[in-house]
Structure 1
Amino acid sequence: MNQSIEEKNKILVLDAFATLFNKRDYPLAERYWSPKYIQHSAHIPPGRDGLFDLVKNAPATLKYENQLILANGDFLMLHGRFSGRGPGMPNWIVVDIVRVENGVLAEHWDVIQEEANRASSKSGLPMFGDCFGEI
């Protein structure tokens, strides 16, 4: 059975995030991000080098987990958690929006929020998955 472009792009983007943020395999990650990568995040310097340098300088404990990925053609939205940002730093719950072009990540936007813990969650529900994250 042939995969739709959306299914192919989901696999591509999840592999890219795992390769860069969790495996930190920078040579392999270069295959996933365009050399002309456009970064719209307020937290990340411009371009592919800005993103890679940010990850290189992050604690080795930094980890990305994905809960949901949606695709519409070459645009994808991921709901995820970045944990292990550093001692006493809360996890980030992030919605990443990426645009894929010619089989690589070409553009990125994000919305970032600190993860609420059980005590600070007014709804009493976790922001990610079935349980509250640990700092």
Structure 2
Amino acid sequence: MPLPPPSVPQTEAERLAFPEDDPSPLAVVNRFNQLAFFDRKPVAAMRRYLAPGFIERYPDFAAPDEPASDKEAAIGFFETRGWKEGEGNVSTVYQVLADGDRVMVFHHMTRGPGDPGLAFVDIFRVRDGLIVEHWAVGQPVSDKRSGRHPMF
């Protein structure tokens, strides 16, 4: 049985393949990722693509208590750290899969040279052209390697 090949990263052309007026979940998440992580404007992306009643399921980004909304808490987090011009964060997207109103993004995030990084799966729920809910699951990239099954 042949071994599976390593995953091929998503290209910029694939991320940019959706017109601005396409409200499909796949288009919305790809445009969000482009603006937030590749153009390095996460706050602008959140203001544009997160719905007013956005629900954040990842505790580090969610509002701890009222009156802050999850949208404002996530914006606050990214106003102070992560993905700004000149920072070393890099995301390599390997899979973007859509099923109905849900979009899953599998990516490898590093914080600079020599960082083995984190393997992340983000799941977004999209309605009416806006992201209404987000989950994130991540794990550190192991220093163990398998020649049979690459992580990415």
* TM-score, normalization by structure 2: 0.66
Task: Note the aligned Cα RMSD (angstroms).
Answer: 2.3
Q: Which residue of 2 aligns with 1:55?
A: 78
Q: Which residue of 1 aligns with 2:50?
A: 33
Structure 2 CA distance for aligned equivalents of residues 64 and 37 of structure 1: 23
Contact 2:109 2:120 in 1 (8 A): yes
Structure-2 change in CA distance of 1:90 and 1:49 (3 Å): farther
Structure possessing the higher radius of gyration over alpha carbons: 2
Structure-2 change in CA distance of 1:87 and 1:48 (3 Å): farther
After TM superposition, list the pairs within 5 Å mapping 1:1-135 onto structure 2.
8-25=24-41, 26-46=43-63, 47-56=70-79, 57-58=81-82, 60-84=87-111, 89-117=115-143, 120-121=144-145, 123-124=146-147, 125-128=149-152
Q: Shift of the alpha carbon at 1:29?
A: 3.9
Contact 1:19 1:29 in 2 (8 A): no
The structure 1 segments of at least 4 consecutive aligned residues displaced by more than 3 Å after TM superposition are 86-90
Contact 1:97 1:109 in 2 (8 A): yes
Q: How many residues align?
A: 118
* TM-score, normalization by structure 1: 0.73
Q: Shift of the alpha carbon at 1:101?
A: 1.2
Structure-2 change in CA distance of 1:108 and 1:61 (3 Å): same
